[in-house]
Amino acid sequence: MPISPLVVRRAGSQDAQALADLATNTFRDTYRSVADPQAIEDYVAESFQPAAVAAHIVDPASTILLAVDGSRLVGYAHLRATEPPACVRGPSPIELGRLYLDRDAIGKGNGAKLMRAVHAEARRLGRKTIWLGVYDGNLRAIEFYERFGFVNVGRREFAFGGRIYVDPVMAASLSEDR
């Protein structure tokens, strides 16, 4: 059976349910070993309801890119035009709020293809800097971001499960194609 090439495309309203399902599953997979299971369920119940996902899809300050392998949704990235923390000093910044892949899609070059699409979309939007917050215990993610030019520029607080985490903030210049 031939391998389907990964296609990255913008999300549409018709993708809300599939994206909500993927977002729920990837969040659970990513944090199940480090967070309280009930806190995870509370978070996904609030953050990844189809209506909440649909609202992000149509929000003009938001761009969601989907990674599709054949007919299967295997990843997504969410760019947001938000106010960056003070530690992000690059010009014309945009936030990479989320980038997740299905567990079975990791290690196959899909993350790199999705990140290249994120960079291209941010440049298309006229942005020159991309920034994100990342859980400091997710070393695989941090190493992935570093391969795409992200460097640690500071820290920010993230409330989850009744606890405050202080996450690294990373930023990258979008001046060159990666």
Span 45-93, pLDDT tens digits: 999 999 999 999 999 999 999 999 999 999 999 999 999 999 999 999 9
Q: What is the pLDDT, as a whole number, of residue 12?
A: 97
How far apart (Å, rounded) are the C-alpha atoms in residues 61 and 95? 10
Domain 6-173 -> CATH class: alpha beta
Burial class (CB in 10 A: 0-12, 13-18, 19+), 113: middle
How far apart (Å, rounded) are the C-alpha atoms in residues 144 and 150? 9
> Any idea which residue has 């990964």 for tokens?
6
Where are the domains positioned within the chain?
6-173
Q: What is the pLDDT, as a whole number, of residue 99?
A: 97
Model-level pTM? 0.92
